[in-house]
Amino acid sequence: MAADTRTLNLDARAQDVQMRFGLVSLAVGLLAVAILTHLGVRPGYRALAFIPFFFASYGVISALFGVCSFTAAMGQRMTKDGAERVANREDLSLQRKYAARVLCLTVGLAAAATSLFVVAS
């Protein structure tokens, strides 16, 4: 899915940061699940793994889409010179539309990963 450049609010550097954050969060989530499972913690408490899985999926998905939902909510985009305000209302509207998709995908993926580990272990 090739996004129109008007929908992007992260530059390449910011996308790299998001991807790294997502991968580190994934490692933390997997480690947490492994430790909780090894300790025999009840499944209800293992559902707390949703938190690192949310951050992991958000980082990876926002990096792939090039859209940060929180930056879009503030009406900004990240550039190599820092944050700048999005002046064009149409561009901002498109960014917020993609930002909503990013959040929906994030919650869905994090819930699926958490469910998999809670039920399977």
Give the mean pLDDT of the chain.
89
* Structural tokens at position 13: 């550097």
10, 13, 16, 17 alpha-carbon torsion, rounded to 10°? -90
pLDDT digits (tens, 9 = 90+) for 36-78: 889 988 888 888 899 999 999 999 999 999 999 999 999 898 8
Q: What is the pLDDT of residue 118?
A: 84
> 18 lies in a domain?
yes
Q: Under a CB-based contact definition with an 8 Å cutoff, are residues 98 and 65 in contact?
A: yes
> 2 lies in a domain?
no
Residue 83: pLDDT band by 50, 70, 90 thresholds? Answer: confident
Domain enclosing residue 14, as ranges? 7-120
Separation CA 107–CA 121 (nearest Å): 21
The 3-state DSSP class for residue 86 equals coil
Residues linked to residue 78 through DSSP beta bridges, in sequence order: 10, 83
Half-sphere exposure of 67 (CA within 13 A, CB side): 28
> 17 lies in a domain?
yes
> 31 lies in a domain?
yes
Highest mean pLDDT, choosing among 3-7, 26-30, 76-80, 82-86: 26-30
> 1 lies in a domain?
no
pLDDT digits (tens, 9 = 90+) for 72-82: 999 898 888 88
Phi, psi of 75 (to 5 degrees): 75, 30
Residues linked to residue 82 through DSSP beta bridges, in sequence order: 79
Number of domains within the chain: 1
Q: Is the pTM of this model over 0.75?
A: yes
